[in-house]
Amino acid sequence: MSLKMKKYNIGNGVGILLLVLWLTPLKGVVAADLLAPQVVLKEASVRFKASLEDETVSKDFLSVYNNVTVIVEPCIDFERISRLVLGKLWKKATPEQRVIFKQEFKVKLLRTYTRAFLEFKEWSIRYLPLRMAKEAKKTVVKTEVLQPGVQPIAVNYRMYLKQGTWLVYDIIIEGVSLVTNYRSSFKGQVKRVGSLDAMIDKLRKNNLAVLAP
């Protein structure tokens, strides 16, 4: 499937784009120009590259998944993303449903990221200059994903400062929000299967099937 076709499928495409942003050396800005939110992404890329030096690890899905979990998870606020993704359903959910959904949704995103690594091609990334006030608590890190013969794809991170750490809480690919896309998807699934519990159970089973040894 071509990149042009993939970019409109946020559910499947977000992993490859996340992968590119965290694996590829920075272009468009030099290290001295990087601000704190950009540094978070750069440091994750350095750690992830180091973890993949062993080819026996880099070709094994579960090994890469474990690396992704350890390195990428701290950069993302899954609590906030889960709350935004469920929207009104989050308000109606029980505390137990919230905990289980957050865990299973996190696994879904991380395994999507892992699968993206296995499909990785020759891509590069351009970080656009970031202007933000020193006291800013929220920002959008703007980037462009580059591939020979293909128009640049705009991929922007929504990030916010939580207890001194910049975390990702949404990704916008070509103007389409990951949060908005998944909110619509899960809302439709709940209607089809009849309940939030049934939707979460389906998500759990899909995760188990993919991660089974």
Structure tokens at 184: 């619509």
Residue 121's domain is classified under what CATH number?
Answer: 3.10.450.710
Q: Which amino acid is at 109?
A: L
Q: Tally helices (H) and strands (E) across the chain.
A: 10, 5
Domain residues for 105?
3-211
The structural domain count of the chain equals 1
Q: Report how far residue 107's alpha carbon sits from residue 123's, in angstroms, rounded to the nearest whole number.
A: 25
pLDDT < 50: residue spans in the chain: 1-8, 12, 16, 23-30
Q: What pLDDT is stored for residue 197 in this prediction? A: 97
* Ramachandran region, residue 28 (left: φ > 0; alpha: ψ -120 to 50; beta: rest): left
Structure confidence at residue 18 (pLDDT): 57
User: Whole-angstrom Cα distance, residue 143 to residue 52?
Assistant: 24
CA 32 → CA 38, 114, 145, distances in Å?
Answer: 11, 30, 21
- C-alpha span between 155 and 192 (Å, rounded): 31
Residue 29 pLDDT: 47
pLDDT score for 96:
97
Closest CA to 11 of 198, 151, 180: 180
Question: Which residues are within 8 A (CB) of 91 and not within 5 positions of it... i.e. 6 or more apart?
Answer: none
Q: What is the pLDDT of residue 62?
A: 86
Among 158, 138, 137, 65, CA closest to 106: 65
Q: How many residues does the chain have?
A: 213
